Amino acid sequence: MRRGRPFAVALAIAVVLAFGGCAAASPSPSSSPSGSSESSASQSGIASAVPSASESAASAPASEVAANAQTQAQASDASPSESYALEVSVNGTTFYATFAESSAADELAERLAEGPVTVSLHDYGGFEKVGPLPWSLPANDELVNGLSGDILLYQGNQVTIFYGSNSYSYTRLAHVDGATAESLRSAFGDGDVEATLTLG
């Protein structure tokens, strides 16, 4: 009978240790699932792998940044006469002209940027239509061999549109693209006519 007591004590100790091991192996309710930790780590890795906009701009080659800046500066510095065309509308027909490289052409474009201008023209010499502008333009007169399609400044405040040819002192304003003497005569007709100048 005394030999049974040590066996019972040993059995009781074994049961206590078994229950204690199960309790230690069970995760506590407050601990986060391992899947959530892995997901957070994955998201953190993706976020760090994607560069921000500022980081992308900073990593652009210096030559590319300089080229973009130069292009923007050139666009902002371009005069209206370099950026637009001149439209001449007369009797329901519209002609398109390319501005000349002159200070008078630049100022004409700036004036027309404020709105279209209609001028009254009359025949002169059998080779041009001429009429007064509502304002003066800077004249840089030189001997010009005017040809059909030329739009010239005369005496600083008159515009002349050639449908023939003549040599005299003018300042170049523009030239009608693809026009012929016949197409200009047909559109402008004989006698006085009103033409509207527009920045196109």
User: How far, in Å, CA of 75 to CA of 22, rounded?
Assistant: 78
Q: Residue 133 has what pLDDT?
A: 97
What does the pLDDT read at residue 128?
Answer: 96
pLDDT at 13: 54
Q: Which two tokens stand for residue 32?
A: 């986060």
Q: Which residue has the tokens 């006519």?
A: 193
168: number of Cβ within 10 Å = 14
Give the amino acid at 131: G
* Residue position matching structure tokens 């700036």: 110
- Alpha-carbon radius of gyration of the chain: 43
Give me the pLDDT at residue 200, please: 85
For each of the domains in the chain, give its residue range(s) and CATH number, in order of start.
81-199 (2.40.100.20)
Sites in the chain below the pLDDT cut of 70: 1-83
Residues 6+ apart with CB under 8 A from 177: 95, 96, 97, 98, 149
Q: Specify the amino acid at residue 122.
A: H
Strands 142-146 and 117-124, bridge-based pairing: unpaired
For residues 101 and 118, the answer to whether their CB atoms sit within 8 Å is no
pLDDT score recorded for residue 64: 57
The pTM is what?
0.61
